[in-house]
Chains A and B, each alone.
Chain A
Amino acid sequence: MRKALLTGVLSATALAYMAAAANASTLDDVKKKGFVQCGVNTGLAGFASPDSKGNWVGFDVDICRAVAAAIFGDGSKVKFTPTTAKERFTALQSGEIDLLSRNTTWTETRDTELGFNFAGVNYYDGQGFMINAKKLSGVTSALQLSGASVCVQTGTTTELNLADYFKANHMEYNPVVFEKLEETNAAYDSGRCDVYTTDQSGLYAIRLSLKNPDDHVVLPEIISKEPLGPAVRQGDDQWFDLVKWTLNAMIIAEEDGITQANVEEMKNSDKPEIKRVLGQEKGSKYGADLGVSEDWVVNIVKAVGNYGESFERNLGQGSPLKIKRGLNQLWSKGGILYAPPIR
């Protein structure tokens, strides 16, 4: 109810804003300001968190830096606004931020009623289950979990998905609900419940802080679709295109094997595709069409690397989280990442 009311108010006010927002070009504003104002999570391991020096690092943060690099050729020309789950949409609607890169699930309501455009999916997430494999040895599938007690955070869509899943499969379960993430973790770690459920990327982060991480396994079932991606305001197609193609460029760079280390070398490559992507083709105007310089992809890759590099550094083997690529692997390697070509 509260949610519905809030959404109603937000969308009503959002409509009023669309008119205002459509007049101004975000890209021009950003160029005038000299930086991108980017909304990120207040703190989510791997996606957006402060490092030891207080700099923002993470997978979502890299999207912000990539956009800044595309525009200014400098990935540091970005200012971060940490937003809470409730604040994020207002911040984008009111123009406080230019871009929302905050592990936000792309849904129909958000795309239409709230007046956003999702520039793509940078992480395919989904709700999963984690169990203590020592305690529940022999369980290899979520379908064997009938009668289990499940630790879940209250007030989230996670709780609803959980109920749907068990009902749909005619299984019984005892929900053990908690208000806070820390409480839920502690309860699961002390064995108060058999199963922990939340988004899979979250499960890996939680596993890090358990007493015996190796005893716990994340089950293969994904019970909901959570495509996370950067969002912009509706009504400014130029800005929308730029963010969308920044993300695409990162994926294409991985496909073409362009990395942070070899990007300068690759500029001299004689493969037409690579020449085209890196703006080395004669009379190239892909950058100009987006309103940025021709070497925009070079700048992006120099700033944050290609998609795979950013993933491995923040979430994968280069990070303590050690999340496997899974769905977030290139289409040619068994995942579903697929970027339209630059041509």
Chain B
Amino acid sequence: MQEHDLSFVRVEMINAEAPPRSAQGLGHWLHTNMFASVTDSVLTIVGIAILVLVLPPLVDWLFLSAQWTGTDRSFCATTVQGGVRPDGWSGACWAFVADKFQQFIYGRYPAAERWRVDLVAVMFIALLTPLLIPSVPRKALNALLLFIVFPVVAFVLLLGGWFGLTHVETPLWGGLMVTLILSFVGISVSLPCGVILALGRRSRLPVIKAVCVAFIELVRGVPLVTVLFMASVMLPLFLPPGTYFDKLLRAIVGVAIFASAYMAEVIRGGLQAIPKGQFEGADSLGLTYAQKMRLIILPQAVKLVIPGIVSEFIGLFKDTTLVYVIGMFDLLGSVQQNFSDASWATAQTPMTGLVFAGFIYFVFCAGMSRYSMFMERRLDTGHKR
């Protein structure tokens, strides 16, 4: 006899119902994100009011009323200021940036030799991009090329004086080029030096420890701007006449030393966060000190402090503007220096120049920041709480 199972058994999944009308769509999104409570509603309205007040004039100043082309100040000045614009006009003077753009990028590097800077930039991008993309193979070779071979090639190319290249002395360097050189050297020196200093500070050997502590504390106890200033103003007086250290070299050394000391403390923070068991585990496997650090401790420690490291990089990138005090012109320095050009002096010029410089710094810093977040997620191996 055939057994009839009277109870209903569903053999296939039922399609999900659409959520109720009150829990979907724009209305729901607005309700939960913008107007969930009285406070939220007030904040939303105030926020929108501020945007309405700020955005239109900003867009107008930046784009709509802006002056895009021109050859001198008259294009960006109102008629009473001796220009062509109507009375009461206010807008960004992008013509100034366009006219001075080459200077903002290369400083006073001779125009005929700028291809060398471009070539270095292309090489840098070509080497850096594959290093940053995790799936591209041959990381070791790539790093070797970028951090050992590239600096030498770049140095020869930029400075010249060899292989038939015209010598371009460093006082002519400037603009974004100097900003990037200082940051690149600072960043690529500070990470290895910082690791060594951090390990030295935790060393059980008293002399090494004392030297590292003294170095770190001494450097962190003095402002960078003081050191640059001393190196530029006092140092030449104590050296015999004729001895002359390149200003750019002084700045590079100063920036690298500073970045290393700060980096050491960031890395030490990572080392301290590693549980003792990891050290003991490595020891029990019979690893040497170098193996233990390289294979077990540092990979974990550095991963923990990626946000700190990148903060240091970003800070360093912006600190390079301090070389302005020793008469060198990085990006911001070049921009500010050009405010003094009387043929571009208008009420709009300084603001436009600073907005431009700020935008460039933002692009670089935001880029570094986003990449570090990507790296953090990729290296996250389950410590997330």
A212 in contact with B102 (CB, 8 Å) = no
B347 in contact with A209 (CB, 8 Å) = yes
Please give, as numbers and ranges, the residues of chain B lying within 8 Å of A21 by CB-CB distance.
Answer: 241
Taken together as a complex, chains A and B put the C-alpha atoms of A41 and B169 apart, in Å, by 19
- A55's nearest neighbour on chain B, judged by CB, is B108
The segment from B35-43, B309-317, B332-340 found at the interface with A is: B332-340
Residue among A84, A189, A214 with the most chain B CB within 10 A? A84
A45 in contact with B345 (CB, 8 Å) = yes
Known: A43-B336, A82-B327. A96 touches B80 (CB 8 A): no
State whether the Cβ of A44 lies closer than 8 Å to any Cβ in chain B: yes
Mask of A142-185 contacts with B, CB within 8 angstroms, 1/0:
00000000000000000000000000000000000000001000
A49 in contact with B338 (CB, 8 Å) = yes
- B345's nearest neighbour on chain A, judged by CB, is A208
- A82's nearest neighbour on chain B, judged by CB, is B327
Taken together as a complex, chains A and B put the C-alpha atoms of A80 and B103 apart, in Å, by 16
A45 in contact with B341 (CB, 8 Å) = yes
Please give, as numbers and ranges, the residues of chain A lying within 8 Å of B99 by CB-CB distance.
Answer: 52
State whether the Cβ of A211 lies closer than 8 Å to any Cβ in chain B: yes
Please give, as numbers and ranges, the residues of chain B lying within 8 Å of A50 by CB-CB distance.
Answer: 103, 108, 337-338, 341
List residues 296-328 of chain B with CB under 8 A from any CB of chain A: 325-327
The segment from A85-93, A124-132, A327-335 found at the interface with B is: A85-93
B327 in contact with A53 (CB, 8 Å) = no
Please give, as numbers and ranges, the residues of chain B lying within 8 Å of A91 by CB-CB distance.
Answer: 236
State whether the Cβ of A54 lies closer than 8 Å to any Cβ in chain B: yes
Please give, as numbers and ranges, the residues of chain B lying within 8 Å of A262 by CB-CB distance.
Answer: none
Taking a contact as CB atoms closer than 8 A, the residue among B81, B236, B240, B340 that contacts A213 in the complex is: B81
State whether the Cβ of B58 lies closer than 8 Å to any Cβ in chain A: no
Known: A94-B241, A212-B80, A213-B82. A84 touches B327 (CB 8 A): yes
B345 in contact with A209 (CB, 8 Å) = yes
State whether the Cβ of A320 lies closer than 8 Å to any Cβ in chain B: yes
B233 in contact with A90 (CB, 8 Å) = yes
State whether the Cβ of B346 lies closer than 8 Å to any Cβ in chain A: yes
List residues 142-200 of chain B with CB under 8 A from any CB of chain A: 169, 171
Please give, as numbers and ranges, the residues of chain A lying within 8 Å of B346 by CB-CB distance.
Answer: 208-209
CB distance from A298 to the nearest CB of B (A): 28
List residues 64-91 of chain A with CB under 8 A from any CB of chain B: 79-84, 86-87, 90-91
B103 in contact with A54 (CB, 8 Å) = yes
Taken together as a complex, chains A and B put the C-alpha atoms of A9 and B232 apart, in Å, by 15
Taken together as a complex, chains A and B put the C-alpha atoms of A32 and B100 apart, in Å, by 35
B341 in contact with A94 (CB, 8 Å) = no
Taken together as a complex, chains A and B put the C-alpha atoms of A93 and B234 apart, in Å, by 11
Please give, as numbers and ranges, the residues of chain A lying within 8 Å of B78 by CB-CB distance.
Answer: 211
Taking a contact as CB atoms closer than 8 A, the residue among A20, A46, A82 that contacts B241 in the complex is: A20
A49 in contact with B237 (CB, 8 Å) = no
Mask of B265-309 contacts with A, CB within 8 angstroms, 1/0:
000000000000000000000000000000000000000000000
Please give, as numbers and ranges, the residues of chain A lying within 8 Å of B72 by CB-CB distance.
Answer: 320
B171 in contact with A205 (CB, 8 Å) = no
State whether the Cβ of A114 lies closer than 8 Å to any Cβ in chain B: no
A320 in contact with B82 (CB, 8 Å) = yes
Taking a contact as CB atoms closer than 8 A, the residue among B107, B233, B239 that contacts A86 in the complex is: B233
List residues 13-40 of chain B with CB under 8 A from any CB of chain A: none
List residues 334-362 of chain B with CB under 8 A from any CB of chain A: 336-343, 345-347, 349-350
Please give, as numbers and ranges, the residues of chain B lying within 8 Å of A83 by CB-CB distance.
Answer: 327
Please give, as numbers and ranges, the residues of chain A lying within 8 Å of B229 by CB-CB distance.
Answer: 86
- A95's nearest neighbour on chain B, judged by CB, is B241
State whether the Cβ of A10 lies closer than 8 Å to any Cβ in chain B: yes
A10 in contact with B342 (CB, 8 Å) = no
Please give, as numbers and ranges, the residues of chain B lying within 8 Å of A265 by CB-CB distance.
Answer: none
State whether the Cβ of A260 lies closer than 8 Å to any Cβ in chain B: no
A93 in contact with B343 (CB, 8 Å) = no
Taking a contact as CB atoms closer than 8 A, the residue among A41, A79, A82, A205 that contacts B329 in the complex is: A82
CB distance from A315 to the nearest CB of B (A): 9
CB distance from A178 to the nearest CB of B (A): 14
State whether the Cβ of A17 lies closer than 8 Å to any Cβ in chain B: yes
State whether the Cβ of A13 lies closer than 8 Å to any Cβ in chain B: yes
Taking a contact as CB atoms closer than 8 A, the residue among A52, A84, A87, A320 that contacts B345 in the complex is: A320
State whether the Cβ of A210 lies closer than 8 Å to any Cβ in chain B: yes
CB distance from B157 to the nearest CB of A (A): 20
A49 in contact with B233 (CB, 8 Å) = no
B339 in contact with A43 (CB, 8 Å) = yes
State whether the Cβ of A25 lies closer than 8 Å to any Cβ in chain B: no
List residues 178-222 of chain A with CB under 8 A from any CB of chain B: 182, 189, 205, 208-214
Taking a contact as CB atoms closer than 8 A, the residue among B80, B233, B342 that contacts A45 in the complex is: B342
B171 in contact with A81 (CB, 8 Å) = yes
Please give, as numbers and ranges, the residues of chain A lying within 8 Å of B242 by CB-CB distance.
Answer: 95
CB distance from A99 to the nearest CB of B (A): 16
Instruction: In the A-B complex, list the 3 residue pairs whose CB atoms are closest, starting with the nearest.
Output: A43-B340, A94-B236, A45-B342
Beyond the given pairs A42-B329, A95-B242, 13 more chain A to chain B contacts, judged by CB atoms under 8 angstroms and listed by A's residue number, are A49-B340, A84-B325, A86-B229, A90-B234, A90-B237, A93-B237, A205-B342, A205-B345, A208-B82, A208-B346, A209-B350, A210-B81, A320-B73
Sampled A-B contacts (30; CB under 8 Å): A9-B234, A20-B240, A21-B241, A43-B339, A44-B340, A45-B342, A45-B345, A49-B338, A49-B342, A50-B337, A52-B341, A54-B102, A54-B107, A79-B171, A81-B327, A82-B171, A82-B329, A84-B325, A87-B327, A90-B232, A90-B237, A93-B237, A94-B237, A208-B342, A208-B345, A209-B346, A213-B80, A213-B82, A320-B342, A321-B342
